[in-house]
Structure formats: C-alpha cells, structure tokens
Structure 1
Amino acid sequence: MTTLWQSEDTGPAIHVLVIGVGRYDHFNGGSKHQARPGMLAKGLGQLTAPPASAYEVCVTLLKELRDVPDRALGSIEAVISAEDPQLPAGFADLFPDVDEAIGTTAELEDVQEAFERWYERCDSDRDNVALFYFCGHGLQLGAYGDHALLLQDTRSSRFASFQNSIDVHGTVQNMQGNRASIQCFFLDACRSSQDVDATLQSLKSTALGPKLHISHDPEQLVVYSTGAGAPAHGRAGESTLFTRSLLKALFSPEHRRDGQGWQVTTTSIGTAIDQLMQWPGLRHRDMPEQQCVTSSTNVRGGVLLRFPNRPQVSFHFDTAPTSALATAAWSLADLRGNQVASRMPGPEPWIDSGPAGEGDLHVAFADGPYSTTSQQVWLQPPCFHHTVQVDVS
C-alpha cells in the first residue's frame, strides 16, 4: 500500500497523487544497467532531487491542507524511489502507517496501483479536486510529439524501452472520464529529446487510467516545469525550484474583487508558480534559466483553495549599491504604524514575509555614507521583490 494518509470525513476533498523517481535500475549507475546501442543515450542516470521533492510535497500538503475550511485534504497517495530509501527525519511520525515499500520502488506496476486508488477517490464526488505531481526524468519528441515521464523500470524491455513510462497526453485525456471537476497535473521533468535516438517517431509509453468514451468536461490544468525541448534543473539532494515554487503558489491566493475573499484558482496558480520560479528569494544565483509552461482544457477559474484572511507575502529586499546591505537595518510596518517585520544589518538581502497590501519600508544606516530612507511598498501575492536605491549623504 502507498496510501500515506486518508481522511475519515466524507464529502468534497482534495486528493493527491505524488510520484518521485530517483532510482532508475536500467540507467547509468542502476543495478540492472546494460549499455545498448540506440534508443537512450548515455546521459540519463540516478537522481536525488525527485525523492527529496516528493517527500516535501507530502509533508507540506498534510500540514497545510488537513484542516483547511470548505474543502480539506482527502488523501495522499505516494510512490517514491531513491537509491538511499531512508525516510527523511520526522516523516514516519507524520505518517505512522507508512508502508515499508515507500522510498524503494516506483515501477510502472506500483504507479498503476496507486493511480487506480487515487482515481477512484477522485471519482467519488463531482466537487473533488485531483492533484497529480511527478518529479523525475522526462522525455519529449519535439515540440508537439510524445511526452513520457520515466519510471524506475523504464528501459527494462530491449524492444519497448519506454513502455514502462507514463504517457502524459494519454493519462490527462483518460482523466476526462473522472468526475473530479478540477484536475491539476504538476510535472517536474525534462522535456528534451537529446537522450533519444533521432529516428524514433513514437515513445509508445503507457497511459494511466481507464480509456472511457465519456467526458465529464473537467477543468484540466497541466503545469510543466519547463518548456518543450528544454531541461528541468535540480540541485542534488534538495527539492527542486519548481517544487518549492508550487508549494508556495498553492498558498498564495489572489484577492477577488467580487467579495469572494482570497482564492487559489485554476487560472492563478500557473502564473504564481512562474513568478515564484523567477523570484530571487527562491532562485539560486547560479541556477540556469527555467520557466514553467501551462496548458489547459475547459479551465474556467475553478477554486482549489479559499482563505478567509489576508495571506502573508514572501518578499526580497536589497539595496543599490549592494555594499549598503551590510549596514542596513530594515523594518516593515503596516499603514497604522504597527511593525510587522524587521531585520538587523547583514550582508545578504532581506528575505521574509509580511501581510498582503500596502506597507511602509524603512531602511536606516547606523554607520557609513548612506542616507536613511522610507518608501511605500505594496506586497502582492505570490511574492515581492524590491531594490532600494540608496543615496550617499
């Protein structure tokens, strides 16, 4: 069993399927790897970022969604494999019923079984939200060709190398027969074809789910971590930039002018993820450029999450010139003059969070040639970046 958590409540809920593949038995460094001509080049090997990312998704969603009003977390289904299957610290405490298989295997059979359980839960109520997350190797043939998410036993067959992979288009299409009215697919994988034989015309990967001849016309949003033909990046052993951006975007609602409060919707979350991926508070300076891409079917602004109160907005403040940072004492206050955040001088930009809306930013310099300054800022989800131009006194 890979059901990490399931609510005892009934009614509309958010059901999550998390797949993180770090162990690839038939790729470089794998236990069953054999050099073969054609099909896959030698560039694909073992990964450490996908299991770290998948574990973080499971932990964050359980902590943040379990008790939200209106439509809370219904279940988390997870399939994760890693070269080192040891669970992260505290994971077993959060998920006391975790199966021993978690972290050890993410073959096609494992994914199909987990997908079937997730599919049935999503299908139980028209007002359910279905969230599908994948992190691992991916391949795509050209800009519009076959796109596959690679699993632990991909390339186990010499004559059907990609059969044990997920057909993205076919899986999303099959989900149209599911009753969940909102379906989001977050795919953190490369979309390049440099590791494929140039003569290959089809990947012949496997579509998950039943191929029904009916459609419930769900809102379907697919968010890719990178564009067609481009790689996706991750630092060894850490959650990827896309994953960290996704987890912030899920809790970065936009304000509705029609009195409906703060909401995360199918039309807002893709833009929020992309903005967060470019935000210097998450993006490492040495990371290559990467921009997420979305595709959608029947998207009408359906609500994933509602929040009754103003959210906190992550901000990144720095100075020009940067040499002023070392002596800059920062404070942020609301319009009533109440201080909401502050920081003593330090060599790095100030990264913190404050309530959405207008505020007063104050920067004071105890020593040096720089002049104290105050500016009004407007913190708007999902993130905010501002450089304070500092004058020499």
Structure 2
Amino acid sequence: MGASTPEPGHQKAEQASRILEASRSFGITPEQYMLPAQQQIRMLDPEGNLISESEQGTGPGHEYPIPEDDVLLKAYEGLVAGRRINDQNYALVRQGRLAVYPSSHGQEACQVGAALGLGTQDWMFPTYRDTVSVITRGVDPLEVMVSFRGDWHCGYNPHDYKVSAMSTPLTTQLLHAVGVAHAAKLRGEDTVVLAMCGDGATSEGDFHEALNFAAVFEVPVVFFVQNNGYAISVPLSSQSAAPSLAHKAIGYGMAGEQVDGNDMVAVLATLRRAVHLARENSTPLLLEATTYRMQAHTNADDDTRYRDSEEVEQWKRKDPLKRMRTFLTNKGLLDEATEERISAKAEEIAASLRQAMTTEPKGDPLELFEHVYAEPTAQLHEQRDQLADELTRAEEGGHA
C-alpha cells in the first residue's frame, strides 16, 4: 500500500514549521523570510568594488557569505568564456552558419551562477537563451549548438549531465522541472531542481501552475527568473504591476528574493543559499535576478524599435564581466598571467565552434524514419525501403 496523504491541516502545520525553521536560520521572522528584502541583494557596486553589509540593504538576517576564492575564479572563467561564446555565435548567425541564436550577452553572471550553484546530483531545466549555463554545467559547446544549426535533436543526452533539453516553448520546462523534483522527493533522492525562465515567462499560465504545484506539494525547486527587462519587445511594466517578480512568490506560499543579476558574487551567493534551503527544507523558492539583454532577442529581432541606445549604454556601465574583473583584481586573485590563460581557453572554445559550424553536416535521410514510432509500422518500413532504394540508385548514377 502507498503512503497515506496527510490531512490538509496537518500538512499546512508542517509547512509552517519548515518556514519557521528556515527563517530562524536567518535570525528573522517567518513574515520577513517570505518577503523579499527591501532592496535587491548586491555585493559589488557598478564599478566592481565590494560594498559593506550596511550598504547592501539586505535587511536583518539576510547574510550571504562571499563564495570561496577558487569558486570566484571559476565563475570569472565562466564569464569570460560565456561572453566569447555569445559573441562568436552571434557572428556565426550573421555568416549564415547558425539558423538562430538567442544571445545572453550581458546576462552571463546569471548564466554562470545558475550552473555553479548546483550540486552534481541536481537537475537544470534551461530555456533557449541559457546556452552559457548549459556549457558551464559541463556539456560540450559543440553538442549544445547543433540544435541552433537546425539539427533534429538537442545534441546531448540530458541524463548524462542532468540538464534538460533547452526549451523553446515558453515556460513549459517549469512544469517538467516540478515533475522531476516531485519524483525525486517521492524516491527519497537528494535532488534540487533549478527551473529557469525569463520575465516574459511569468505571464504564462504554466508559470502559475508550476509554482502552485511546487508550493502545495513542497518540492525542492528553485525558480530562477532572469528579468532582462523585455519579453521580446514587451517591457516588464506592461506585464506586471507587482513591486518585483520576487514578490509573486508569497502568493504561492514560498519565499522570494531579488538579486542584482549583473553582480556575479551576489548571484552565486544567493543561488547557493536558495539551493541549500530547498535541499534542507524540501520547499521551493523564487529568485529574481535583475539583468539586461544587451543584444537583440534573436537575429530575427530589431531591438531599436522598442528601446533606445541610451538605455543600452546605461546597462553597459553595469557589465558583469568588468565588475567581476575589478573585484578579483582588487582581491589579489587575478593577475595578467591568469587573465591571459582564461582568455586563451575561451578563444579555444570559440575556435572549435567556428570550425564545427563551418563544416557542412552530412545528414542521413533515412534517419527520418527512426524515431516516428517506438515500433515502426509496416507502411513506415515500406517508405523507408523505397527511399533507400532511390538513394542507392542515385549513388550508382541512375535517376532517383
């Protein structure tokens, strides 16, 4: 027999107890724990200088320790590689080597933090814009990019890396993420799931359904919203009247937090804390990272029609890569030799992408029939044999 379902009152009492325990770890009340801090979490100023705790405005008990030096350096290496990958892929699109590329230039701190904030046993559910996250997680860049060239598969086995296929339909991956987290909880597995989406996705019905299910069934999911200001051309002000997207969390019965998404140190620190809380308390959390998409939505988008150049210039001054470089240099962790080594590694990745994407793929037409049904029908066998015969005659110089 399966385990009995707790009575609603008992279940709610257990949830309140977990929220109370989590809030005590911060030294604050449950009400303070549920609501985002009055100001977004920030550790570096726009120039990259470490700011004091009193200036962070994080409120009582919201302490986020600075990550270890080796983690900071790894994060910077991811930033440099991510920027180079974004710019290289954007160039490949203009050359006609890629069909499309949704760039995350300017959002690399969110991308790298998402991957480094997870344990090896955890799962990531990315969107179509999260290429750098998937690569930072360990997936071969060449495997990640094949889908943008137009190949029929996602390029990698999700189970090998615990990274779902990058989702193009808006927000559907959040439901899948919650399902995986629920299954892991039922099995007693030590798994946290990171469900990634953008600000536009929060206007979808799937967003509501995913958060509501996660909160009611208390599953360990961290909803990571990269708020880059626009759902293609629609600004956030036309989508939500809430003080922040992080405030939406309390309506579902989970804690929400808002972080400066261009502050690599703060993004990594808050994501690690969110994953830890989700793991320890088996409860979902919502983390909104405020960032900016520096380039167009994709190569099919003309961003000059809905935002002006001055707005873009303002965000350039908050570049996460420059801020992190200044911070690490001031901290004595980054010198010229280390910078050269990191840049050289990023160039190797870019070179391998150029080489792979400028090589014409050799497709096998017979693959069309391989994944239509689990057991091919007689008609499918007949069609496949007919095409194979035509291909053979064409190779022999006959008329297909």
State the TM-score, normalized to the length of structure 2.
Answer: 0.28
Which one has the bigger strand percentage?
A: 1
State the TM-score, normalized to the length of structure 1.
Answer: 0.29
Which one has the bigger helix percentage?
A: 2
